[in-house]
Amino acid sequence: MMNTNQLFNEIDKLKNDLDRKRPLPSEVVKNLRDHLIVEWTYHSNGIEGNTLTLSETKVVLEDGITIGGKLMREHLEAINHKEAISFIEDQVKDDTSITQQTIKDIHAIILRGIDAENAGVYRKVKVLISGAEHVPPSPLVLEDEMEGLIDWYKKTTVHPIERAALLHSFFVKIHPFIDGNGRTARLLLNLDLMKSGYLPIVLRKEQRLQYYEALDQSHVKQKYSPFVNMVGESLKQRMKYILEFLE
């Protein structure tokens, strides 16, 4: 297993290769974006238990078709996730900085039409994360914890890939919302990667166990490298895939 710095160096080489190919033809950009939106939405919702298949996700998003036998909530989760991707793309375009409001806005889109009362609002109750050792903080300290997170984010000097991974990890540790923390965290991770000029990544449904275990290690033991490396590997694969596609 290569160390984290080697991994980042390899990714930055791939990033330079990709940057040299820019600007890409607009039809190629659209094709890659359409593919990414379906894949990212399918996997991010799937990690949380959404039962739409990849092809069902595609027809819901691209054709607006309702799938028989699937919950309305599952359709809304797909549609909202696509909207949230558009929102973070706009944030990247406008080069706005990440704030607590950005995070609340992402979350509000995720739960739109699903849970109006809690969409974009920090939780007012204590929560447990099933299957995790870590217990998130009391609702009384959420504002302070989130302010601390944004403060850390603005000041940290770690590599941008590590920063994006840690932003995700620290956010999930705080668990500021009743529901939708995972999807919000993965959107936040990609928002930060994209702001730094990297591609967004897709953490896959079949990596769910590895993903949860890596996060729990960072939350309970302050061992951050498993999750940081998972993000790095995922980014490396995505960049290689795109570069091969562009050959």
CATH number reported for the structural domain that contains residue 238 in this entry: 1.10.3290.10
**pTM over the 0.75 mark:** yes
Please give the pLDDT value at position 132. Answer: 82
AA letter at 169: S
Q: Is 80 annotated as a binding residue?
A: no
The terminus-to-terminus CA distance of the chain in angstroms comes to 28
Q: Is 181 annotated as a binding residue?
A: yes
Model confidence at 228: pLDDT above 70: yes
Q: Cα–chain-centroid distance for residue 235?
A: 12
Q: Give CA–CA dist 167/175, Å, rounded.
A: 12
- Counting the structural domains of the chain, the total is 1
Nearest to 50 by CA among 61, 42, 58: 42
Q: Give CA–CA dist 64/135, Å, rounded.
A: 39
pLDDT, the chain, mean: 97
Give the model confidence (pLDDT) of 115-146 as tens digits: 999 999 999 999 988 888 899 999 999 999 99
Q: Is 157 annotated as a binding residue?
A: no
Instruction: Tell me the mean pLDDT in the region 211-223.
Output: 97
Share of the chain above pLDDT 70, in %: 99
Q: Which of 81, 107, 159, 175 is catalytic?
A: 175
DSSP state, residue 68: T
Model confidence at 2: pLDDT above 80: no
175 is catalytic: yes
Q: Is 185 annotated as a binding residue?
A: yes
Please give the pLDDT value at position 52. Answer: 99
Classify residue 226 as exposed, middle or buried by CB count within 10 Å of its CB (0-12, 13-18, 19+).
middle
Residue with tokens 């990440």: 98
Give the model confidence (pLDDT) of 9-61 as tens digits: 999 999 999 999 999 999 999 999 999 999 999 999 999 999 999 999 999 99
Residue 101: give the domain boundaries. Answer: 4-246
Model confidence at 8: pLDDT above 90: yes
Model confidence at 1: pLDDT above 60: no
Secondary structure (3-state) at 30 = helix
